[in-house]
Amino acid sequence: MDSFLQIVLYVFIFFSLYVQVFFLVTFFEKRRKLKIANNNVVILHYPTIGIIVPCWDEEKTIVSSIESILSVDYPIDKLKIYIVDDGSKDNTWQILQTFIDHPQIKVYHKENGGKYTAMNFALEYVDTELVISVDADTVLEKNALVEMVKFFQENPNVSAVGGTILIGNPKAISQKAQSIEYQMFSYNKKMLGLMGGVLVAPGAFSVYKTKILKKVGGWQHGHLLEDLELTFRIQQHGYTVDHCHTAVAYTKGPETFKKLWKQRIRWGTGFLHNTKKYKNMIFNKKFGNFGMFTIPMSLFAYLALVFVFFYSWYRIILMLIEKIQSAQIVGWSHLFSGEFSWNWFFIDTKTASFLSIILFGSIIMAILLGRKLSGAKESLFYILWYFLIYSFTQPLWIIRSIYSTIVSKKETWR
């Protein structure tokens, strides 16, 4: 039994390393292109842009989000902002009244129906060339729209582009851990974009060609992960999705572990449900690297994390049993005698241990490259929080997501 589990462990480590090395090779092959991307591009045409901001009980963040949109470096006469209050119960609607007479802003109110219904409600009024989804707690960098437009100009075949999302001003420990995770996300998404296999254009900040978005049917429920579902559907229709690492926006991120847990259950369950919905794309050459690499890799990551979690505890329990048996034979006193001396004999020299160290190093490298691509400035010490929190909790919320998917348990947004 133990030999079989070790073989499975080697398989998971090998493929995990393969993905990391593949990403690194892609990065170093394209690093010059990434370095000069958009720097020398002159915008020949400023397309009209419609920005949809759905909000539900966002009285604390909606103003800063709208103000960040209004302050971007983009011709104001080319911007239209559509704000949809999706049946808020707090003072969101009252706050939005301050923007009701603004020439670039349209404010709407509807009964609560979910984020995707608010997005589609606004989409009916959009008549611009491009449409952007922005969350009500998202703040855009001043050059974010310009960078997106340059990207579309350089890649005319692209139909949707996701922006880089970072945690803005992280204060809570959970937010500091997420800030590292989001930096690594920016690296992974860019590598997937370079190979034509973006998993998700994030709802917090993504740009779509309006005609294409309306043609594929706008947003759907997507098991509370409407951005992922839309990314799947756009690529299923044969259109290209990419990632622009130079277009940056900031979000808050859950400030408590309870909220982080709930968000990740929603993400995990939504991913599994949508993958099931689009299962015909898995290992389907018709959908290129998205079908042949991205979806299988994402599913593999879930399986790997769950297996390593259970296998680690299995080994820990075996070790404890062995120590207890040894103590029963030679006595407990030697455990507290204080006569321990260091010896290289105690170093685990098994191949799996060395491969695990290399894998750990490759994850650190991915984080550092993500910082470089996104321009993140947060303390590197946050990496400690990332590993401490995610090493223990990530497998648990994946297990819970798998359970919720199997029993069809409905998750809520908050």
CA end-to-end span of the chain, whole Å?
42
Provide the pLDDT for residue 105: 97
pLDDT in tens, 257-283: 999 999 999 999 999 999 999 999 999
Per-residue pLDDT band at 112 (split at 50, 70, 90): very high
Both tokens assigned to 360: 């750990």
pLDDT higher than 60, residue 348: no
Provide the pLDDT for residue 39: 65
Of 235, 246, 51, which is closest to residue 162 (Cα–Cα)? 246
Provide the pLDDT for residue 33: 73
Residues 184 and 21: their CA atoms lie apart, in Å, by: 15
Of 189, 179, 148, 186, which is closest to residue 377 (Cα–Cα)? 179
Mean pLDDT within 398-413 = 88
Provide the pLDDT for residue 388: 93
Task: Tell me what percent of the residues of the chain surpass a pLDDT of 70.
Answer: 92
Residue 22 vs residues 14, 198, 380, 401: alpha-carbon distances, Å? 12, 15, 25, 28
pLDDT in tens, 298-310: 999 999 999 988 8
pLDDT higher than 90, residue 109: yes
Mean pLDDT within 351-374 = 87
Both tokens assigned to 379: 């303390």
pLDDT in tens, 188-231: 999 999 999 999 999 999 999 999 999 999 999 999 999 999 99
Provide the pLDDT for residue 353: 73
Per-residue pLDDT band at 378 (split at 50, 70, 90): confident
Range scoring the smallest mean pLDDT among 323-332, 368-377, 403-412: 323-332
Provide the pLDDT for residue 346: 46
Provide the pLDDT for residue 410: 79
Per-residue pLDDT band at 32 (split at 50, 70, 90): confident
Q: H or E segment at 194? A: helix 173-194
Mean pLDDT within 101-109 = 96
pLDDT higher than 50, residue 345: no
Provide the pLDDT for residue 333: 60
pLDDT in tens, 319-334: 788 777 776 776 666 5
List % helix, strand, coil for the chain (3-state, nearest 5): 60, 15, 30
Both tokens assigned to 52: 């949809």
pLDDT higher than 50, residue 344: no
* Sign of the four-CA dihedral 218, 223, 226, 232: negative
Provide the pLDDT for residue 376: 92
Provide the pLDDT for residue 1: 67
0.95 exceeded by pTM: no
pLDDT higher at 48 or 34: 48
Provide the pLDDT for residue 334: 57
Provide the pLDDT for residue 313: 83
Tell me the average pLDDT of the chain: 90
Strand residue runs (E) in 100-143:
105-110, 130-134, 139-140
Mean pLDDT within 148-164 = 93
pLDDT higher than 80, residue 80: yes
Provide the pLDDT for residue 350: 66
